[in-house]
Structure 1
Amino acid sequence: MQSVSDLTAHTGYWLRMVSNAVSQDFARKLAAEGVTVAEWVFLRALYDVDSMAPSALAGRMGMTRGAISKLADRLIEKGLIDRVDNPDDRRAHSLSLTKAGRARVPVLAALADRNDADYFGVLSADEQDALGRILRHLAERRGLKAMPLD
């Protein structure tokens, strides 16, 4: 009979266990604030710019333009972003944070910081740095570019 490795022998098993816990807790914290993880990532991506074309945002987030459009519609309905038509091209528009959206980003970022501290605060500063370095290195080596949205 062929030997079969135990589930817990796989690094991916442990990575998924931690990732699921971190992600699910963060999603619950964001839901209490009325946004999803994908909406948070969208808002944060717009925070450092005055405005951005949906196609550029789709590329930055690793999403389709259709998915960006659906997210934008939800965030417009929530009053967190604006869609501004381009006066030179009626088919083009840009997306930007509203005043309310700009004010919410630091609040949501603090939740992200607190969530990280809750999970990774049990590690020493050196261990946290090493883990971050290893994960970034692995993502770079594997060519991973899409933003995690769930």
Structure 2
Amino acid sequence: MTDVINGRNQNVEQLDNEYVKKQIAKYQEQHRKVVFKRRRLTLLLAITFLIFGFVGFQLFSDHQRLVKLEAIKQEAVADNKLVSKNVDQLKKEVALLKDEDYVAKLARSRFYYSKDGEKVYPISGQNQNAKDQEDAKVEKAIDRTNGSSTTEE
């Protein structure tokens, strides 16, 4: 084993003729082609990974955006239901306001209007509490029509 230097045996000599030179040149050319193919394959794999990475990132960001839009849609649907309920309630109130008896009763209770010869005796605590409740209803209706989804029913 001591006779082996650089992977070659000292007893083996290389011939220096035309055939050996052609074989060595052929081997070197094949080696260059293999190296070139490996480099080209490595470059193609790197480009492929970059493309898949970019597409994957785009898919992830699109998915996140879709989730946010779904949440906004659900909130809008909830607001739409709330507003439609409010619109229905306001339509009922408008229908009631077309009734003259209801308007007269409302005016008498809220603004102390009376018929001819009739006297009104307001009870302080009862009317104030009713007025506060009515004001709260009006404010809640205004908030709902303005699209405020944070108000509670």
* TM-score, scaled to structure 1: 0.27
* Richer in helix (by share): 2
* Richer in strand (by share): 1
